[in-house]
Amino acid sequence: MRKSKTNSVKLGLIAIVVFGLIFAVVSATRDWGKSQDAISAETSLKKLNQLYGRLRVDTLNPRKDEAFIYDEAVTVLPDLSEYPFVVNPATAHFLTVYACTEKAGADSWMADAAERFNQSGAEIDGNPVSVGIRAVPSGLGADFIAADKYKPDVYAPSTQLWGDMLISKGVNAHLIAERVAGNVAGVALYNKKYDEMTAKHGSLSAKTIIDSILSGEVQIGYTNPLSSSEGLNFVLTALFTFDERNPLGDGSISQLRTFQDNIRYVSYNVSQLRNSAQGGALDGFVTDYQLYTTSPELVSAYKFIPFGVRHDHPLYAIGELSPVKKQIAEAFAAFCLTEDSQKAAKDRGFYGLDDYVLTQTKPDGTTILQAQEAWKKEKNGSSDLTAVFVADVSGSMEGSPLLKLKASLNRAATFIDMNTNVGLVTFSDTVSVALPIAKFDQDQKSYFSNAVKSMRAGGGTAMFDAIVVAQKMLMDAQARNPNTKLMLFVLTDGETNRGYEFREVEDLIRALRIPIYTIGYEADIEILESVSAINEAITMNADTDDVIYKLQSLFNAQM
């Protein structure tokens, strides 16, 4: 009897060990054949569903805005006051210059040249003369001039591409100087990737980079070609690489689509792009040599490969200048080309790679404009786009913040492509799905308009609860359509005091890899920047007057 009991115990122990081994083997082999990314995605989806399952989510009944009128998107320009003089005119007779920010930002070369010109005692017909410099990005300056809204006397973009475009639009612009500060555009390629590619291809060129993007060998980011000189030059270089004789033909446009499939994203601005590259998200990024060579952290970590039309910073007279202004313009151009001024330009990093010449055909103004239009149609490659807007309607948004938020949404909606899939979430104490995701056609725009119009402020601020709900909507949309790109926009004052905290969702945000763009209204900008930085998105401060223009630029780049 005792022996029988002993045997039973042994059998029981053996059974436990066997079942334990079986469980261990099953657990260990459960993820065989899956990539780490797949495992991470699976885990993050489980966490998303767990967090979502704990929330009370209301689904509102969408209604059309009976007063809704479809409004074609038009260019919205910021007020010129957002771009004050960095060098003030010092005399009654003066001219205004719009100079790109690399020449006219704080402590920049052209600003310094203008200060010295104004102090030089320059005279025309016995009258003291001077110049005023506004630091206006090249693309925005071209928009101002083309719209005939704020026209300078002299336009100083980074490259002749912008001047050629303006002339092709019928703007009266003529060159005063072809080059006052030599520069080139290029790709800054991470050292390790540069070594890999040179070992495979030999010396690298723009064509090597373009071909390697097409094949998926390298991940490069670039800036919005509708507003950025480097981004515009890069897209033109790609099109002429695809087919130099017919850069806008069907074959070239088809390759542009494939090219865009292999571009992780087009950045809103240079700082966003640079942060993404330095954070390890990209193998390289588009920049210019002057910025590269004056940034020790870039020189040490990246190699520079030039491309495209040179960025030699021309000067254009805009419109019919008065005889006095014409003489001031010519005198200032001559002053910029003096030995002292040119030495100062070289000291600031200009004139590096001065032997670089364009080997492709130089595009004319009409081709440049057509290339921008082609890019707008193909910027998402073969994928479509799904975006969810998350709007804060808590009590702290009462008054001016909510009015600004509504204005932002209503105006920005006109810039979103009708093929984009759009949803809307609102939040206060709890979260509401105000508008399920659907194509942003006229019907959806009408629903969107009414949902915005119906927003009322009250209650606490459960921002991270709302982000979880929006992420759930986006991931469900991607499950239905794996070929869609995902984006999330959060409009808020950032004062979270209900529901999940940042620390509870930070890892989930990182794992899902959905870029979260934040727009702050009298906001805690620091927490919003922390949210956006996780997946290389950006934060905008809606307290500035040009937020609508910034949103337009962002949507033009991404949507």
Residues 6+ apart with CB under 8 A from 149: 77
Q: Is the dihedral of CA 309, 159, 326, 337 positive or negative?
A: negative
Do 336 and 297 reside in the same domain of the chain?
no
10-residue mean pLDDT profile of the chain (559 residues): values are 46 42 37 45 88 93 81 72 92 95 69 95 95 94 91 96 97 96 96 96 95 95 92 97 96 95 80 73 92 93 96 96 96 97 94 94 96 91 89 93 88 84 95 96 93 94 96 96 92 89 93 92 86 87 73 73
Do 401 and 520 reside in the same domain of the chain?
yes
Do 417 and 483 reside in the same domain of the chain?
yes
In whole angstroms, give the CA distance from residue 536 to residue 276.
5
Do 280 and 320 reside in the same domain of the chain?
no
Coarse DSSP helix, strand, coil percentages of the chain, rounded to the nearest 5 percent = 50, 20, 35
Tell whether 461 is covered by a domain. yes
CATH of the domain at 471: 3.40.50.410
Output b/e per residue, 173-185; b: 16+ Cβ within 10 A: beebbebbbbbbb
DSSP secondary structure letter of residue 230: H
Do 222 and 324 reside in the same domain of the chain?
no
Do 201 and 335 reside in the same domain of the chain?
no
**Which H helix or E strand runs over 491?**
strand 484-492
- pTM score of the predicted model: 0.84
In whole angstroms, give the CA distance from residue 56 to residue 429.
10
Tell whether 330 is covered by a domain. yes
In whole angstroms, give the CA distance from residue 559 to residue 257.
15
Tell whether 252 is covered by a domain. yes
C-beta of residue 441 within 8 angstroms of C-beta of residue 411: no
Q: Which of 397, 356, 414 is nearest to 559 (CA)?
A: 414
- In DSSP terms, 385 is beta-bridged to 485
Do 202 and 295 reside in the same domain of the chain?
yes
pLDDT attached to residue 111:
93
pLDDT attached to residue 535:
86
In whole angstroms, give the CA distance from residue 209 to residue 215.
10
Tell whether 4 is covered by a domain. no
- In DSSP terms, 233 is beta-bridged to none
Burial class (CB in 10 A: 0-12, 13-18, 19+), 215: exposed
Range of the domain at 479: 50-67+383-558
In whole angstroms, give the CA distance from residue 152 to residue 321.
10
Length of the chain: 559
Between vectors from CA 310 to CA 99 and to CA 330, what angle results, nearest 5°? 45
Q: Which amino acid is at 202?
A: G
Do 63 and 98 reside in the same domain of the chain?
no
Do 224 and 368 reside in the same domain of the chain?
yes
C-beta of residue 137 within 8 angstroms of C-beta of residue 99: no
Tell whether 454 is covered by a domain. yes
Do 281 and 212 reside in the same domain of the chain?
yes
C-beta of residue 285 within 8 angstroms of C-beta of residue 221: yes
DSSP secondary structure letter of residue 395: G
Do 420 and 517 reside in the same domain of the chain?
yes
DSSP letter string, 130-156: EEEEEE--HHHHHHHHHTTSS--SEEE
pLDDT attached to residue 34:
39
Tell whether 275 is covered by a domain. yes
Q: Which of 212, 198, 313 is nearest to 262 (CA)?
A: 212
Q: Which of 313, 277, 268 is nearest to 295 (CA)?
A: 277
Beta strands 154-156 and 315-318 are antiparallel
Widest CA span of the chain, in angstroms?
127
pLDDT attached to residue 65:
85
In whole angstroms, give the CA distance from residue 274 to residue 270.
6
CATH of the domain at 196: 3.40.190.10
C-beta of residue 313 within 8 angstroms of C-beta of residue 181: yes
Tell whether 327 is covered by a domain. yes
In whole angstroms, give the CA distance from residue 559 to residue 557.
6
CA distances 9 to 16, 248, 356, Å, are 11, 81, 85
Q: How many domains does the chain have?
A: 3
Tell whether 62 is covered by a domain. yes
Do 495 and 388 reside in the same domain of the chain?
yes
